[in-house]
Amino acid sequence: MDKMRTYGLVGLLLLLGAALVGCGNADNNHAGHGGPPTGSMIGVEISIEPQAASAGQEVDLKAAVTQDAEQVEDADEVMFEVRQSGSDDRAMLMGEHAGEGMYTVTHVFPEAGTYFVTAHVTARGMHNMPTLEVDIAE
């Protein structure tokens, strides 16, 4: 009889734990992403201008944000992460809306080498973070 009571108590605790985990996940499905997704996935295309950049030169990092072939003018956040190949150091730069679905920031690459630019874009309940490899000349 004691064994059955113990198994019943363990089973009840497992059920309660599973129910609590399920409730917690339901409340946080879209936390930090502007609510539930609307429409198809957002598209993000990264570019730099000028394309042939040199160390110490100002360049514009750009992210063109679209959804269903339409320009996204209401992104919640556009951040550019810049990291040199082989390094763990990262710069996080806030992009500014420039109109027509374009978000930009000016940056100077300190030295020649290969860099990775990742655009972290949150818009319409979705997050997309493509990466562009950039070679910077002397």
In the chain, domain spans: 1-31, 43-136
Q: What is the pTM of this model?
A: 0.73
Geometric angle at alpha carbon 125, from 42 and 43, rounded to 5°: 5
Query: What's domain 43-136's superfamily in CATH?
Result: Macroglobulin (MG2) domain (2.60.40.1930)
Count of positions (residues) in the chain: 138
Residues of the chain with pLDDT under 70: 1-36, 38
Position 55 scores a pLDDT of 97
Q: Whole-angstrom Cα distance, residue 32 to residue 12?
A: 33
